[in-house]
Amino acid sequence: MSQDQEKRFLKLIDENVGIIFKVIRIYSNSMADEKDLKQEILYQAWQSFPRYKGDSKFSTWLYKVALNTALTHVKKETRNKENQSGIVEEYTEVGNESKELLIKLIRNFKDIEKLVIMLHLDGYSNEEISNISGLKLNHVAVMIYRIKEKLAEKLKNKKV
């Protein structure tokens, strides 16, 4: 990668770092896991950047990289936990209670549901969500509706 490409990459990452933190927040369960996932996402983005052609917004591209990396990371961690025993560090952070409750609820969803609702909450259009997730546009709309219903029901019953 040339020095100009490197500067461009670092600038774009700096402008879109919030995406990485949102993905990490949803897909990690501990502080150690959070650090590993952040490092892996940045590494994968760095490795993939020369293939980024600008056909989509950088933020959309970065979401794809981050989410694919997170999903792979979660699968690896699940396999590792099945093969090991030990103490799992609980993820805790002081913050807005409503936001924390929402994050806690979203963590219990299926991976594809996490992806869709996270993008929706970040203001991505259904078409953009479709492009990132690979789901059909109609399926995205239905899924968002069902996820909102599921969230409302869990909040109503306070089932966390």
Predicted pLDDT at 63? 92
Domain map (residue ranges) of the chain: 1-93, 95-160
The reply to whether domains 1-93 and 95-160 share a CATH topology is: no
Q: What is the pLDDT of residue 9?
A: 94
| Average pLDDT along the chain, 160 residues, taken 10 residues at a time | 89 94 86 88 94 90 91 72 37 54 85 88 88 90 91 74
Q: What is the predicted pLDDT for the residue at 78? A: 60
User: Could you say which of 3.30.450.20, 3.10.200.10, 3.90.1150.10, 1.10.1740.10 is the CATH number of the domain covering 1-93?
Assistant: 1.10.1740.10
Instruction: List, in order, residues 6 or more apart from 38 with CB less than 8 Å away.
Output: 20, 21, 24
Q: What is the CATH number of domain 95-160?
A: 1.10.10
The backbone torsions φ and ψ at residue 93, rounded to the nearest 5 degrees and listed phi first, read -155, 135
Of 92, 152, 81, 142, nearest in space to 112 by CA: 142
